[in-house]
Amino acid sequence: MYNEPYPRLSRLPGQSFFLLGVRGVGKSTWARRNLADAHRIDLLDEARYQDYLVDPSLFAAELRAVPPGGWVVVDEIQRLPNLLNEVHRFIEERRLRFALLGSSARKLKAAGVNLLAGRALRRTMHPLTPAELGRDFDLEAALRSGTIPLVCTAEDRRAALESYVQLYLREEIRAEALVRNLAGFARFLPVAALCHGATVNVSGLARDCGVARTTVQGYLDILEDTLLAYRLPAYEAKLRVRERQHPKLYWIDPGLVRATKRLFGPPAPEERGALLEGWVLHLLRAHGEGTDLYEAIHYWSPHSAARTEVDYLLRRGRELLAIEVKSQSRYHTGLLRGLRAVAEVVGMTRRVLLYGGRRSFRTEDGIDVWTFEDLHRTLAEEALWP
């Protein structure tokens, strides 16, 4: 079991909540630290799982022993989503508060999360960030093997990553019976990894994997529902040009996307652009969890200028903040093309270029040029917006 030495960004809500995240991200360890006195129910305990599977009333009987208003931690809730009916009842009748931990939203979506609407928040635990790692953070190591705690604290990170990918296929996909054709899904994963940071072309993916288009669409849903990847929507505004509708696909961790492609050495120059883009998205999502950092996040690329785009457009109320990510270590004005084009969007309050150099400054037309260290510090200080 991973004994997490790092403080996490996640804060304990005052009401019941779902805490979702991929395996090994630290959910159980966080719950033990923050809810040390809670009643714990671990559905990975096979004997307990089988008991509840045969007789769900045993779950209710156990909850009756918890004092009114007390906390209950249920780990791996997606294994028995029908228990959410009892969770709902005990929230209402006994005012119990639940921390419902899970590594997949797929079965929960189909079997009862809506029953808890308004009664349980949804939170996601992300891989470690520089603010959490502190002095242990190293960008090159993060891009090479990621920051999932189970992996980045392992003695042999390559072996840990290889095992993790197999664990995902075995425990999340086969055990949960999410696909009928596991071999087809196994072929799909490395192809999907090649699409990290790219717009999703479902037809092209289907051709490359040798499966039907509808099958690939289902595979993409599984990637997102099991929290392994995220589809970033295009920004849509009432402009004179129509915005691109296809989402971009980003995996949640650089190490996972590289391991799926069986890449374990230092990232090649052609990898760095997409890896850095994905890393920045990870930071924005992790720091935005449960905060007012932004209300929505998109990418921007008008149809009329296929080569012009901005990686991230954050919206907060009527304000917009644009972020462009470049791996180059030398600054030149060509890096600003997308940020200068997006200036016409109504509500733009800040434009930021992130690049691999060491010098920070502001251009004459008001674009902030930052290093990646500037971004880490600004997010930690909650000072991203002007």
The whole-number average pLDDT for the span 160-179 is: 78
SS3 labels along the chain: CCCCCCCCCCCCCCCCEEEECCCCCCHHHHHHHHCCCCEEEECCCHHHHHHHHHCCHHHHHHHCCCCCCCEEEEECHHHCHHHHHHHHHHHHHHCCEEEEEECCCHHHHHHCHHHHCCCCEEEECCCCCHHHHHHHCCHHHHHHHCCCHHHHCCCCHHHHHHHHHHHHHHHHHHCCCCCCCHHHHHHHHHHHHHCCCEECCHHHHHHHHCCCHHHHHHHHHHHHHCCCEEEECECCCCCCCCECCCCEEEECCHHHHHHHCCCCCCCCHHHHHHHHHHHHHHHHHHHHCCCCCCCEEEEECECCCCCCCEEEEEEECCEEEEEEECCCCCCCHHHHHHHHHHHHCCCEEEEEEECCCCCCEECCCCEEEECHHHHHHHHHCCCCCC
- Among the residue ranges 54-58, 88-92, 280-284, 300-304, the one predicted with the least confidence is 300-304
Residue 297 tokens, joined: 């996040």
User: Domain ranges in the chain?
Assistant: 17-124, 130-267, 277-380
Tell how far CA 251 is from the center of its chain: 8
What percentage of residues in the chain have a pLDDT greater than 70?
93
pLDDT in tens, 119-145: 889 999 999 999 999 999 999 999 999
Confidence of residue 176 (pLDDT cuts 50, 70, 90): low
Q: Please count the other Cβ atoms lying within 10 Å of the Cβ belonging to residue 16.
A: 21
Domain 17-124 and domain 277-380, same fold? Reply is no
pLDDT in tens, 262-310: 999 999 999 999 999 999 999 999 999 989 999 999 999 876 556 779 9
Are the beta carbons of 321 and 327 closer than 8 angstroms? no
**Distance of alpha carbon 90 from alpha carbon 80, whole angstroms:** 17
pLDDT number for residue 110: 65
Residue at 360: amino acid letter: S
pLDDT in tens, 336-380: 999 999 999 999 999 999 999 999 999 999 999 999 999 999 999
The whole-number average pLDDT for the span 105-120 is: 70
Residue at 142: amino acid letter: A
pLDDT number for residue 130: 97
- In CATH, the architecture of 277-380 is 3-Layer(aba) Sandwich (3.40)
pLDDT number for residue 1: 38
* pLDDT tops 90 at residue 184: no
The whole-number average pLDDT for the span 242-269 is: 89
* pLDDT tops 60 at residue 113: no
pLDDT number for residue 182: 77
What percentage of residues in the chain have a pLDDT greater than 90?
76
Domain 17-124 belongs to what topology?
Rossmann fold (3.40.50)
Confidence of residue 112 (pLDDT cuts 50, 70, 90): low
pLDDT number for residue 229: 95
Q: What is the CATH number of domain 130-267?
A: 1.10.10
